[in-house]
Each structure stands twice: as C-alpha cells, then as structure tokens.
C-alpha cells in the first residue's frame, strides 16, 4: 500500500480534528440553540473555501510569480511533463519569481496546481539537483498536501471562532470577556494546529521519498537541500551595508518568510519551541533520510 505510514497518521490526526470540530459545533448548539447548526456548517465550508482561494492568490502575488518561459527553461518543462505522465496527473502551471533566496513551493490541488521556482534556485543548483526539488514539489501536489493543510488550518480557525463566540456571549459581554475570548480562542487554535503541523512535517518526509523515487536516488535532492540551507543562512547573515544596497530584495525576502515560508521546500531551523510549531522537519534529518 502506497504511503501506509502517512495514511495511518492522517487517519489519527483526521479523527482528532473531526473531534475538535464536532465538539465545537455541539458546544455552539448548546450555547446558541439548534438553529445555529446549518449556519455553522455553511460558514465552515465558506471559510475553508475562501482561505484556500485567497491563500493561493496571496502566495503567488507575494513573490511576484510569473510564468516560467518554456523556450528559456525547456528542460524544466520537459521534466515536469514526464513526471506528470508517469503519475497520471495534469501538468501544473510553472512559475518563476525573485524570492531573494533559493527556494521553491507548490500551491493548489491535483489537476489545478502551481509550482513556483525562484531564480536564485535555478542559478544555484545543477540539473539533477533542480529536478529533485521540482519532483518534491510535484509530490506535494500529487499527494494533495496543500489542500489537506488548508483543511486542517480551516478547522483550527473554525474551532477558535466558535470558542471565542461562546466565551464572549455566554459571559457578561463586557471588555474583559472580549479579551478573554481572544486569549482562549488563540490558545485553542494553537492546540489544534499542533496536530496539523505534526502531519505537515511528516508530509515533507513523504515528498522527499517520492522525489527520491522519481529521480532514482536521494543524493541530488540531499545536495540541493544543503545548498538551499546554506543559501538561506547566507542571506540572513549578509552584512548590513549589503542589506542596504539590496533593500528591495530584503523586503521581498521578508515578505516570502511571512507569506509562503510554510509552503517552501526549506524553512529556517530554529529553537525547540519553534521546531514543534514548524511546518518542516529539521533539515539535517531530511538529508540523513535521503542518503540512508
């Protein structure tokens, strides 16, 4: 069975998220009456749908993504077409962007996906390494990772909103209840997101493994991840006068960190608390698995 480990984890996390959602809806019905049920269900679907559409638009717009010219980058297009034929999936849109750092990310769903590659990444990697990165992003689309993550984030938002309304309207409805509702809602959302982020980190391992199978080995992607990690570190540690000289690039880099860091193939390795709320596993562990 393909990705049985991922399916088991998804079943467990899915059951937990469904429990959070059902408890939140049940609590809303108790607090506001059974008439709230259709409103809650329709509102949930609309929220997830709007988050998905806006999220994709914001991610592409934030990096200024443009179509990847086929006449200039024919090898990339040919590689994607071959992988998509093998996977029996529609070729996603390919775009290029100036991100200020070497990176790539995928948005959308299977049949309507988009892969964005930074110019810095194309300049940094050789052909085999670049194909490993592109194969990783295609795996995210093939495995419906973006849609799954958006659904999980949507459930976390719904649960938080329900909790906030319950706290606000079942109390004295004063300023203290307003701030309490914000605090409690954020804490509940953080708790739910811990499960979503845990499955996100495992999905990175699965995408790495899929890419390894596509390119016939893990070494090219492992080298690519090392170069990407080093490139990101150098960008973060660039001298102050260099940052002033390329101020616009640094602003775009900060925007990438805020808007699409969770989607990119690489995200910064940080302290323990930041690692448990990260969308990506530690880089050294990913490289070790690829070379094992």
User: Is 137 one of the catalytic residues?
Assistant: yes
- Report the pLDDT value the prediction gives residue 275, as an integer from 0 to 100: 64
Q: Write the CB contacts of 216 (distance below 8 Å, at least 6 apart in sequence).
A: none
pLDDT bucket at 279, cuts 50 / 70 / 90: confident
Mean of the pLDDT values across residues 135-164?
Answer: 90
Residue 244 phi, psi (nearest 5): -65, -35
Percentage of the chain with pLDDT > 70?
Answer: 85
Domain boundaries, the chain: 4-61+144-291
Cα 133 from Cα 227, distance rounded (Å): 11
Q: Which uninterrupted H or E stretch holds 224?
A: helix 219-236
Catalytic residue among 66, 137, 204, 284: 137
Q: How far, in whole angstroms, is CA 1 from its chain's centroid?
A: 25
pLDDT tens-digit readout, 243-269 = 444 444 444 444 444 456 666 776 655
Over residues 142-165, mean pLDDT: 88
Q: Can you give the pLDDT at residue 137?
A: 96
> Residue 1 pLDDT more than 70?
no
**Helix residue ranges, H only, 125-218:** 127-142, 145-169, 175-215
Strand-pairing partners, residue 66, are: 96
Q: What is the pTM (predicted TM-score) of this model?
A: 0.82
pLDDT of residue 236: 64
- Cα-Cα-Cα-Cα torsion 34, 36, 38, 43, nearest 10 degrees, comes to -160
At 249, which helix (H) or strand (E)? helix 247-260
pLDDT in tens, 45-75: 888 888 778 888 888 988 999 999 999 999 9
CA distance 131 to 151: 29
Query: Cα torsion at 44, 47, 53, 59 (round to 10°)?
Result: -120
């Amino acid at each position: 069975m393909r990705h049985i480990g991922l399916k088991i984890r998804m079943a467990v996390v899915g059951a937990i998220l469904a429990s959070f959602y059902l408890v939140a809806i049940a609590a809303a019905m108790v607090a506001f009456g059974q008439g709230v049920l259709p409103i809650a269900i329709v509102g949930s679907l609309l929220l997830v749908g709007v988050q998905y559409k806006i999220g994709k638009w914001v991610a592409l717009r934030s990096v200024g993504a443009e179509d990847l010219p086929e006449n200039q980058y024919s090898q990339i297009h040919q590689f994607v077409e071959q992988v998509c034929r093998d996977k029996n999936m529609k070729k996603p849109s390919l775009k290029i962007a100036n991100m200020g750092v070497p990176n790539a990310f995928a948005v959308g769903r299977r049949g309507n996906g988009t892969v964005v590659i930074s110019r810095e990444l194309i300049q940094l990697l050789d052909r085999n390494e670049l194909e490993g990165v592109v194969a990783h992003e295609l795996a995210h689309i093939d495995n419906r990772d973006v849609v799954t993550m958006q659904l999980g984030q949507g459930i976390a938002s719904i649960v938080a909103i329900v909790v906030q309304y319950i706290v606000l309207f079942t109390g004295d409805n004063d300023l203290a209840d307003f701030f309490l509702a914000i605090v409690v809602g954020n804490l509940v959302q953080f708790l739910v997101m811990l499960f979503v982020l845990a499955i996100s980190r495992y999905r990175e391992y699965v995408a790495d493994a899929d890419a390894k199978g596509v390119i016939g080995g893990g070494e090219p992607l492992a080298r690519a991840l090392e170069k990407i990690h080093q490139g990101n570190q150098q960008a973060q540690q660039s001298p102050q006068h260099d940052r002033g000289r390329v101020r616009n690039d640094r602003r775009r880099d900060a925007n990438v960190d805020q808007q699409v860091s969770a989607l990119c193939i690489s995200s910064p390795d940080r302290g323990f608390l930041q690692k448990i709320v990260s969308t990506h596993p530690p880089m050294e562990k990913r490289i070790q698995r690829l070379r094992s």
